[in-house]
Structure 1
């Protein structure tokens, strides 16, 4: 982390989100538990403010790119109320850090709650916020007087059936499909219309197990990943992996061989449906 901040001119909102900042934000009045009765009934109604918040979050969905001032890529994926930020140098095959979690976007404020952070795991469970503006395909965020400009890098409102945030819920072992119970240990895949990132982490302890990402294509039941960063083995960068896929009953069935050559059959479910 010291190396990242040594040159202050390279600091950006992207790095501030990677590093983290202040602790948990106070609970908004609209989010406080209500007592039983009329107030509880009213709280279940969809208000114009809630509709506006959902609309702003949807408008941010997709893949966004900026740089850190040192020529390194910083890619943010936003889907299903979840975001990831990955910083890497594809040419040098260097993975430099990642963070992500849930978010809300309302009234020009982007507020993130960390579920993983490779530069500072103590930030897991805490929140950070920045002011934002969205105009056409350009997204600016301002925090502590530092402004980042992000450019959309894939199609808005993608028609890809895989665009979303997915959690692994089933894996075949010894010919039998085993269900995976929800818990703090998670393996997620976040896909925009053209990019992906997978992440394995524990949202309670802050333990991080690995990540990888890049671009993907999905056509005629064939899903192909083109790896641009990989935290566990930089030699994976530049490789392409192809799988068979099918979206059935809302679940993503994923078959093929892993990067180590092992046969896999997995089922993934969108977090918005869990």
Structure 2
């Protein structure tokens, strides 16, 4: 009898821990038909993007710094293209394991997300642009309320131009990426400014020098660019 009670307690404990989950760093996708929700988590920062690359449609994006609280995520919203009044507020997301996936209680619905294959690359980080070459001269971009950040993790990327202090949003784009032998390649899956850019593949030179990412080549518009990105620490 005592043995049975111990086994029962152990089973209940295992079920408890299996039900609870934490959203670790990586890329997660929830898909309904051809519409996708992509969540990127890196360096204590989370971003969710709604898009349909097959129809070249960008839906919305929101995100910000996160804190893990057991089986919940506390997200301090820095941008929200659906409702800018949420910026500066904290939203709580319940997370739990569910049939080989992760169920996340979003503000508008419960959704099942599947963690994508881990693809570790040297550029995986939360970045912030800190320099740009103009007319053959490199200009520093000082830290300010307005910023452009870029999340790279597990073969996915997103850049976001925002000003949380003024609840400003100036554009975003992203998709899949690879980095090998100082060559950085992007395939655009969503772009808020121009849906016609979806499907483009862009190739850049990329190198790490003193922890900074030197990024050069041609933009999606065909303009020559040389940018310096520095690792960003989420608040």
Normalised TM-score (structure 2): 0.85
CA shift digits 1:181-223 (9 cap, x unpaired): 1111010110112000111011111111111111011111100
- Structure 1 gaps, min length 5: 1-56
Could you say which structure has the higher helix fraction? 1
Structure 2 equivalent of residue 151 of structure 1 = 114
Bigger drift between 83-92 and 132-141 goes to 132-141
Secondary structure of the structure 2 residue equivalent to 1:214 = strand
Structure 1 equivalent of residue 207 of structure 2 = 246
Query: In the superposition, relative to structure 1, how do residues 58 and 191 fare at CA in structure 2: closer, same or farther (>3 Å)?
Result: farther
Q: Is residue 210 of structure 1 aligned with residue 174 of structure 2?
A: no
Query: In the superposition, relative to structure 1, how do residues 209 and 146 fare at CA in structure 2: closer, same or farther (>3 Å)?
Result: closer
Q: CA deviation at 1:136?
A: 10
Query: In the superposition, relative to structure 1, how do residues 202 and 240 fare at CA in structure 2: closer, same or farther (>3 Å)?
Result: same
- Residue 59 (structure 2) aligned to one of 79, 85, 96: 96
- Residue 131 (structure 2) aligned to one of 165, 170, 179: 170
Query: Considering only aligned residues, what root-mean-square deviation do their CA atoms show, in Å?
Result: 2.4
CA shift digits 1:78-110 (9 cap, x unpaired): 000111111011111110101111111121111
Counterpart contact for 1:102–1:112, Cα < 8 Å: yes
Quick one: distance in 2 between partners of 1:145 and 1:169? 35
Structure 2 equivalent of residue 85 of structure 1 = 48
CA shift digits 1:93-133 (9 cap, x unpaired): 11010111111112111110100000111111001002212
Instruction: Report runs of 4+ in structure 1 exceeding 6 Å deviation.
Output: none
Counterpart contact for 2:22–2:72, Cα < 8 Å: no
Q: How does 1:82-231 map to 2 (within 5 A)?
A: 82-134=45-97, 138-142=101-105, 146-155=109-118, 158-231=119-192
Quick one: distance in 2 between partners of 1:143 and 1:96? 16
Counterpart contact for 2:65–2:234, Cα < 8 Å: no
Counterpart contact for 1:154–1:192, Cα < 8 Å: no
Q: CA deviation at 1:146?
A: 4.9
Secondary structure of the structure 2 residue equivalent to 1:272 = coil
Q: CA deviation at 1:147?
A: 2.8
- Structure 2 gaps, min length 5: 1-20
Q: CA deviation at 1:159?
A: 2.8
Q: CA deviation at 1:154?
A: 2.7
Quick one: distance in 2 between partners of 1:66 and 1:80? 22
